[in-house]
Amino acid sequence: MSTTAFLSALSRIYPPDRLLTRPAQLIAYESDALTSFRARPQAVVIPVTQDEVVETVRLCNEHEVPFVARGSGTSLSGGSLPVENGIVIALNRLNRILHLDPEQRFAVVEAGVINLQISQAAAPYGLYYAPDPSSQPICTIGGNVAFNSGGAHCLKYGMTSNHILSMKVVLADGEVVRFGSRSLEGVGVGPDLVGLFVGSEGLFGIALEMTVRLLPRPESFRTVMAAYRDLESAGNAVASVVGAGLLPAAIEIMDTLAMRAAEAAVGAGYPQEARAMLIVELDGEAEQVDREFEELVDLIQASGAEQVIVAQTDEERARIWQGRKGAFSAVGRLSPDYVVQDGVVPRGRLGQALAEIDRLGREYGLDVANVFHAGDGNLHPLILFDGSVEGALERAEELAGKILKMCVDLGGSLTGEHGIGVEKRDYMSYMFSPVDLEVMAELRQVMDPKGLANPGKMLPTAGH
């Protein structure tokens, strides 16, 4: 089928204002948050119903046109990068919360619902949705499912995969299926197809709606900031806290550059003279939190902290987290461009990993701002560079690659929550054996024989 005929077929599904084909209309969809990769699709469609998505996928399958699903475009790995001869299916208008059951503690939401909106809808019932990526006010639940997003509180509450009970999915050939069960009793019966789909980066199809778990809002919070003389000391403090048997809701670390940028952006009250800062938050029943708080403060003081600051009000706690979650965008105050990674290392080797990142930054002559989920060893080094300088991007990417390999060498992973996308695809063979990758490719082939769903992502053999 020719491009003209295919677009004509799309026009029978979409009115002109929801079928974008002009170059000026397509510019906004050429990349996601990883702007160093760009490609222009032949069209972007904006469905407002699940049926329109299904019709579109079936049309793509019939005429062998690749498609890429996109939410808010916050992917930092190029996960929603378009395919030049394909289309983008923009899901932002599939944004209905279809059902919320406060007694059974679940909500049924469409793929375009914003993460934070789920908690806002559940708040009147004393409930919330736990996964809280930094892009929480703008990222969609469909994107969270594609990349198995986590967030600051994933140490205690887990990743997206731990909170999806069931989902309605359109597979790459247009078949509509349901995975999982709304009932917790159904979890663990039969193959874990929800677990298979979550984190598959769109290679199997498109999640149309999800049933998500809701949790009771904790009764009490205690949030502590601790200043350290260097990153290695802060990293070792994390191992000390977790090794003592405490399970904080969140343990985060920021370095001097990240703190400086965040403080300028939101005035979070961070200790500006510190080389590293630890943020630890406890939550739960008030009596338990108070007891754990005393132990936590003792551990932090024994770990060599130079200053300990405790949030005294909900407003102070909110500012601390506003600064942390806004750190990525705030770093734009320090540099015109940056590359961010999200490799993972074992908690016990955090100090070693941070010292090596510092050494590599000096070797390459590039500043690295460190912001990361220390509790589960998920590093987010932001490598600062000036893209107007010839070769600067390539140098930054080379440094990023060395950091990723270091993570694997230390027994960790290429990604914690940002996914592989196109950015880390060529490093998959460093972490996985040829047999591992062959099995992944065969699984993708079974789910998507024509290789139409988000081709060119994750797997080193592009598209298959």
Q: Name the nearest CA neighbour of 339 among 328, 330, 326, 354.
A: 328
Last residue of a domain, one of 50, 74, 90: 90
Q: What is the pLDDT of residues 11-45, one digit of tens each?
A: 999 999 999 999 999 999 999 988 888 999 999 99
pLDDT at 461: 67
What is d(CA 411, CA 401) in angstroms, rounded to the nearest whole number?
16
pLDDT at 89: 98
Instruction: Report helix, strand or coil for 319.
Output: helix
- pTM score of the predicted model: 0.92
Q: Residue 278: enclosing H or E segment and its boundaries?
A: strand 276-284
Say if residue 211 is in the same domain as residue 106.
Answer: yes
| 196 dihedral zone (left: phi>0; alpha: psi -120 to 50; beta) | alpha
Say if residue 104 is in the same domain as residue 193.
Answer: yes
What is d(CA 87, CA 56) in angstroms, rounded to the nearest whole number?
10
Q: Does residue 360 lie within any of the structural domains?
A: no
Measured between alpha carbons, how far is residue 44 from residues 72, 86, 116, 140, 169 in Å? 14, 9, 26, 18, 20
Q: Does residue 170 lie within any of the structural domains?
A: yes
What is d(CA 289, CA 222) in angstroms, rounded to the nearest whole number?
7
Q: What is the pLDDT of residues 286-297, one digit of tens each?
A: 999 999 999 999
Last residue of a domain, one of 172, 192, 216: 216
Q: How many domains, the chain?
A: 3
Confidence at 189, pLDDT banded by 50, 70, 90: low
What is d(CA 386, CA 364) in angstroms, rounded to the nearest whole number?
14
Measured between alpha carbons, how far is residue 179 from residues 106, 173, 192 in Å? 16, 16, 8
Q: Does residue 279 lie within any of the structural domains?
A: yes
Mean pLDDT of the chain: 93
235, amino acid identity: G
Q: What is the mean pLDDT of residues 146-162?
A: 94
Give the HSE-up count for residue 195: Cα atoms under 13 Å, Cβ half-sphere. 7
Say if residue 212 is in the same domain as residue 101.
Answer: yes
Q: Name the nearest CA neighbour of 146 among 363, 335, 429, 415.
A: 415
Q: Is the pLDDT of residue 270 over 60?
A: yes
Domain that holds residue 14: 3-90
| Token couple for 99 | 């059902």
- Answer yes or no: are the C-beta atoms of 257 and 369 closer than 8 Å: yes
What is d(CA 214, CA 277) in angstroms, rounded to the nearest whole number?
31
Last residue of a domain, one of 46, 74, 90: 90
Confidence at 464, pLDDT banded by 50, 70, 90: very low
Strand partners, 228: 276
Say if residue 81 is in the same domain as residue 166.
Answer: no
Say if residue 132 is in the same domain as residue 76.
Answer: no
- Answer yes or no: are the C-beta atoms of 118 and 136 closer than 8 Å: no
